Amino acid sequence: MKPPAYIAKHIRTVLKNGGSAPHTVEVQRFFKHQVKSRGWYTGELRKVAVRFRRTILAEHGVDYLLQVADQLFRGKILEEKVFAVLMLQGLVGEFGKSEFKLFENWLDRVSSWADHDGLVHYLIGPMIAADASLLSRPPRWARKKTAGPWHQRAAAVSLIHSTRQHKNFSDIQRITEMLLTSDDDMVQKGLGWLLREAAKANPRQTVKYLMTIRERTPRLVLRTACETLPATTRDRVLKTKSTTDSHGSSWTKKEEKELDPCSSAQIRGSCVS
């Protein structure tokens, strides 16, 4: 049996030969810093990853697939890391704490928001949502202020699956409090993303929380958190105390209806009768 490193090397060759040089230039537009890319479109990359996953699982099993993915996530090329995640996406239900530890170690290898969000949103996040014992990890990442933005961004992004499942709101608040002082835009955007998802899943509770922290929340975080809220509610959250209108903090009937998850103003089908 050929070692996982051999298969990983073969995949790297496939990615190198199948990429698009013009698209490489387009990819760079999404990043502030220089990234190494082969110029693959995500849809095509996913198709190839699924084919490799199917073959590797049939011939060698999940453990071998994990080892191949681990080899790929050590690389410097964006598509190699994304490919590793795509091969494992959908198998998260079969993973346990040892696999979680492996993925957690991958955070030290992250080089851009793209490979970070693939890893955290598609692998780490679903595992945290499924296993409450893993909720101890995001606060530890949030404290890593000297290790670059990726651990702190992971602390926020890893809870998005939880909020979509209406879980762990107290943990979301805890992580928010820990990250509010960050001035890194990658951390702020990750936190804003989390709060935006919380506002979609649980608008009434989230808006009330946002009203309590708006004075000390970076504007980027607050604006992102409010993106999907009804206009009247969004405007109200974004106001500072010094500009708050005279009717105080109580909700109007219109706002009460807009913040009702079962209202037609919210996404249909989100309520459980």
Question: Tens digit of pLDDT for each residue in 21-42?
Answer: 888 888 888 888 888 999 999 9
Over residues 118-141, the mean pLDDT reads 97
| Global pTM value | 0.85
pLDDT of residue 26: 85
Residue 70 lies in a domain: yes
105-125 mean pLDDT = 96
Residue 102 has pLDDT above 70, yes or no: yes
Distance CA(187)–CA(221), nearest Å, equals 9
Retrieve residue 217's tokens: 């929340």
For CA atoms 251, 256, 260, 265, the dihedral sign is negative
In a domain, residue 20? The reply is yes
Average pLDDT, the chain: 88
The answer as to whether 264 is a domain residue is: no
Of the candidate ranges 155-164, 175-184, 241-250, the one whose mean pLDDT is the lowest: 241-250
Q: Which range among 187-196, 198-207, 263-272 shows the weakest confidence by mean pLDDT?
A: 263-272
Name the β-bridge partners of 36: 77
pLDDT at 22: 84
What total of structural domains would you count in the chain?
1
Range of the domain at 26: 1-89
